[in-house]
């Protein structure tokens, strides 16, 4: 079975600073990895996904993530934080979609300080 | 185009009552998923449909939970004899057949009093 660990339930950065949200996974086989963002009282929006192509994945809103097999990590970064980035971020993993569903981490609440 | 829609957006019910939650997937998406999000926790995968077939129902929390889907369209999640621990946001997602890119609805917030 696969699992996801997100380090830090809350992360606070200043506007304009680097955003780094950490995600480590556990999987017996190469997984497919995703980052989702959830704004208050809304559903989840897909930020980016890794499906065994390029290890550096670019997503929407200036976010990117790098798949590092040796570290079993898929950390999310953004060079310069914007106030509108304040939200809950979830890392998720699946082995093959379909009946596996997605296994989610517990989420990281990103706070942007003015 | 229209995204995934869910109804109702909010539901308050008394303990012991039955509730039915509805999900309308994106047109053409053959796969449909239900998840539960409890306060302060991540999302918990409940069940998956490919077409109107659900090959594995073991993720449903108890036998009070059931789900069905009509063709490749609407799905309903039914909770019988609701308990306070059922209070959560129930999210639905749909995808193409491969399931690699799931699109989520806004959720139904269920409160059991």
A27-31, A62-66, B54-58 — which one is most confidently predicted on average? A62-66
Spell out which residues of chain B touch residue A107, defining contact as CB-CB under 8 Å.
42
The set of residues, in sequence order, having a beta carbon less than 8 Å from that of B63 and lying 6+ positions away, is none
Distance CA A110, CA A90 (A): 11
Distance CA A81, CA A32 (A): 26
> By the 8 A CB rule, do A6 and A97 touch?
no
- What's residue A98's pLDDT? 66
Cβ pair B99:A97 closer than 8 A: yes
Handedness of CA B109, A104, B98, A63 (dihedral sign): positive
The residue-averaged pLDDT of A31-37 equals 92
> By the 8 A CB rule, do A74 and A101 touch?
no
Nearest to B20 by CA among B66, B87, B85: B66
The residue-averaged pLDDT of A69-79 equals 95
Distance CA A52, CA B24 (A): 30
Classify the phi-psi angles of A101: left when phi > 0, otherwise alpha if psi is within -120 to 50, otherwise beta.
left
Q: Which of A1, A102, A106 is most worth mutating to test chain B (most B CB atoms within 10 A of its CB)? A: A102
Nearest to B52 by CA among B71, B30, B32: B71
User: Does the structure show a pLDDT above 80 at A37?
Assistant: yes
Q: One digit per residue, pLDDT tens: chain B, 113 residues?
A: 589 999 999 999 999 999 999 999 999 899 999 999 998 778 999 999 988 888 788 889 999 999 999 877 999 999 999 999 999 999 999 998 776 789 999 999 999 99
The residue-averaged pLDDT of A34-46 equals 90
**Residue B90 has which token pair?**
């129930």
Question: At A52, is the pLDDT very low, low, confident or very high (cuts 50, 70, 90)?
Answer: confident
Q: Which of B43, B58, B107 is most worth mutating to test chain A (most A CB atoms within 10 A of its CB)? A: B43
**DSSP of A23-69:** EEEE-SS--EEEEEEE-TTS-EEEEEEE-SS-SEEE-GGG-EEEEET
**Residue B92 has which token pair?**
């639905």
- What's residue A76's pLDDT? 98
Residues 50-109 of chain B whose Cβ lies under 8 A from any Cβ of chain A:
50, 55-56, 59, 91, 93, 95, 97-107
The SS3 of residue A100 is helix
- Quick check: A31 contacting B, CB < 8 Å? no
Distance CA B64, CA A10 (A): 34
């Amino acid at each position: 079975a696969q699992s996801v660990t997100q380090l830090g339930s809350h992360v606070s950065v200043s506007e304009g600073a680097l955003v780094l949200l950490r995600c480590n996974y556990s999987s017996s086989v190469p997984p497919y990895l995703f980052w989702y963002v959830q704004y208050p009282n809304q559903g989840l929006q897909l930020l980016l996904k890794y499906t065994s192509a390029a290890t550096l994945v670019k997503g929407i809103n200036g976010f990117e993530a790098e798949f590092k097999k040796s570290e079993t990590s898929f950390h999310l970064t953004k060079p310069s934080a914007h106030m509108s980035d304040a939200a809950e971020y979830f890392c998720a993993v699946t082995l093959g979609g379909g009946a596996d569903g997605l296994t989610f981490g517990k989420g990281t609440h990103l706070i942007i300080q003015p | 185009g229209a995204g995934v829609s869910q109804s109702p957006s909010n539901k308050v019910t008394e303990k012991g009552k039955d509730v039915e939650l509805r999900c309308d997937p994106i047109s053409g998406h053959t796969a449909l998923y239900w998840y539960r999000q409890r306060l302060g926790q991540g999302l918990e995968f409940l069940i998956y449909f490919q077409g109107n077939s659900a090959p594995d129902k073991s993720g449903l929390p108890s036998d009070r939970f059931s789900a069905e889907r009509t063709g490749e369209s609407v799905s309903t999640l039914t909770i019988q004899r609701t308990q306070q621990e059922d209070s959560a946001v129930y999210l639905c997602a749909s995808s193409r057949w491969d399931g690699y890119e799931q699109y989520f609805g806004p959720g139904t917030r269920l409160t059991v009093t």
